[in-house]
């Protein structure tokens, strides 16, 4: 029987009708009433549709159903009892460069075979379907840039006029095209010649202030122009921890005082572990799309090295309890 959180009133003249009661059961509770007698009781005692709605929506049964559904669709949050991820990587430039070279080779392959799908991995962006869905693909880029601008606005952070932006992992230019109007100039980096070629062809139709640069070695980071903004989204996650660290270290180092960094990176996965020797032995000769994480403590350690002040950190958690963060920081 329907469990109420408040008593029904005495019978009222001018009932709402039995059909309304039956449909309230079906729509609110997803079932038929227990009996015709119960339907008549509600029909006689409830004076309006608004009152009937309130009775059902505040009932214990309805609330229980809502709570159960929310539990199903809401990703579990971090509890604070999670163990540390196991990451083993000596501070060795040679090993780090080997890992970077492997990632660059993999993404150069994707740039030749599945450039759009490798950026957003849904079937509609595979080579055989991309032409019909190209406008939607680039429209997603507008949304991601608007999120960046909204984050700045929410935190009262403004970019200098004619600022220069370094974008890491420009891919085929889906974000670059929407970023370019907000800057005096841009340096768009990627490791894949195929992606860069498509990016230049697309972005040049909309902007003339972007220089596209192939990142062939990590040491190139020290040769990049000074910038006031560093931006990257859905890129760092495809690099193992030592490469993520090197990229953040190099690019945060190119920011001028007052410079802004906005970047997205996974920071926790319950089953993630990384051992550089095992990784090279297993992955170095394989073309794969990989997913990695860098603990928050390491992100903050690198940021502190460059005098970066965290302004906002937004959590993104999925049903597997994997956590990624959007970081907004500013150089002191």
Smallest Cα–Cα separation from 20: which of 2, 1, 46? 46
Same domain, 101 and 68: no
Which pLDDT score, from 0 to 100, does residue 320 have? 73
pLDDT (average), residues 151-170: 97
Segment 132-154, tens digit of pLDDT? 999 999 999 999 999 999 999 99
Q: What is the mean pLDDT of the chain?
A: 92
Same domain, 232 and 199: yes
Which of 10-14, 239-243, 245-249 shows the lowest per-residue confidence on average (mean pLDDT)? 10-14
pLDDT band at residue 2 under the 50/70/90 scheme: low
Whether residue 257 is predicted with pLDDT greater than 60 in this model: the reply is yes
Whether residue 47 is predicted with pLDDT greater than 70 in this model: the reply is yes
Which pLDDT score, from 0 to 100, does residue 125 have? 96
Q: Residue 269 and residue 94: Cα distance in Å, rounded?
A: 27
Which of 40-49, 150-159, 165-174, 247-256 shows the lowest per-residue confidence on average (mean pLDDT)? 40-49
If one counts the domains in the chain, the total is 2
Same domain, 32 and 63: yes
Residue 276 lies in a domain: yes
Q: Residue 239 and residue 85: Cα distance in Å, rounded?
A: 16
CB 269 within 8 A of CB 292: no
Residue 9 lies in a domain: no
Greater pLDDT, 180 or 18: 180
pLDDT (average), residues 206-226: 98
Q: Give the sheet arrangement for strand 323-331, strand by strand.
A: 210-214, 185-190, 164-168, 227-232, 255-268, 323-331, 308-317
Provide the 8-state DSSP code for 196.
Answer: H
Which pLDDT score, from 0 to 100, does residue 3 have? 61
Whether residue 6 is predicted with pLDDT greater than 80 in this model: the reply is no
Same domain, 38 and 139: no
Q: Residue 257 and residue 275: Cα distance in Å, rounded?
A: 35
Q: Residue 229 and residue 332: Cα distance in Å, rounded?
A: 13
**Range of 187's domain?**
90-331
Segment 72-125, tens digit of pLDDT? 666 667 778 899 999 999 999 999 999 999 999 999 999 999 999 999 999 999
Whether residue 302 is predicted with pLDDT greater than 60 in this model: the reply is yes
Which pLDDT score, from 0 to 100, does residue 104 have? 98
Same domain, 171 and 222: yes
Same domain, 305 and 224: yes
Residue 149 lies in a domain: yes
CB 321 within 8 A of CB 76: yes
Greater pLDDT, 178 or 54: 178
Same domain, 32 and 137: no
Greater pLDDT, 65 or 248: 248
Whether residue 11 is predicted with pLDDT greater than 70 in this model: the reply is no
Which CATH number does the domain housing residue 116 bear? 3.40.50.150
Same domain, 236 and 299: yes
């Amino acid at each position: 029987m329907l469990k109420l959180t408040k008593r029904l009133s005495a019978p009222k003249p001018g009932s709402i009708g039995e059909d309304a009661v039956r449909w309230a059961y079906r729509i609110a509770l997803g079932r038929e009433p227990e009996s015709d007698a119960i339907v008549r009781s509600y029909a006689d005692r409830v004076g309006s549709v608004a009152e009937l709605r309130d009775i059902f929506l505040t009932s214990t049964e309805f609330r229980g159903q809502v709570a159960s559904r929310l539990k199903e669709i809401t990703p579990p949050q971090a509890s604070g009892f999670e163990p540390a991820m196991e990451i083993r990587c000596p501070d060795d430039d040679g090993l780090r460069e080997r890992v970077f070279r492997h990632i660059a080779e993999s993404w150069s392959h994707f740039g030749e075979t599945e450039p759009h799908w490798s950026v957003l991995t849904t079937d509609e962006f595979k080579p055989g379907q991309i032409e019909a869905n190209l406008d939607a693909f680039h429209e997603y880029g507008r949304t991601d840039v608007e999120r960046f601008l909204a984050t700045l606005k929410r935190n009262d952070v403004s970019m200098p006029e004619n600022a220069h932006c370094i974008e890491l992992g420009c891919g085929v230019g889906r974000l670059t095209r929407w970023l370019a109007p907000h800057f005096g100039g841009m340096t768009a980096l990627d490791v894949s010649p195929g992606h860069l070629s498509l990016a230049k062809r697309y972005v040049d139709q909309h902007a003339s202030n972007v220089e596209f640069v192939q990142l062939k070695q990590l040491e190139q980071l020290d040769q990049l122009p000074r910038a006031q903004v560093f931006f990257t989204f859905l890129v760092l996650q495809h690099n193992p921890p030592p490469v993520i660290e090197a990229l953040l270290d190099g690019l945060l180092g190119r920011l001028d005082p007052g410079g802004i960094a906005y970047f997205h990176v996974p920071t926790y996965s319950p089953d993630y572990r990384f051992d550089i020797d095992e990784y090279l032995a297993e992955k170095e000769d394989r073309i794969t799309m990989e997913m990695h994480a860098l603990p928050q403590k390491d992100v903050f350690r690198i940021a502190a090295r460059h005098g970066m002040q965290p302004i906002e950190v937004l959590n993104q958690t999925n049903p597997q309890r994997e956590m990624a963060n959007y970081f907004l920081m500013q150089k002191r």
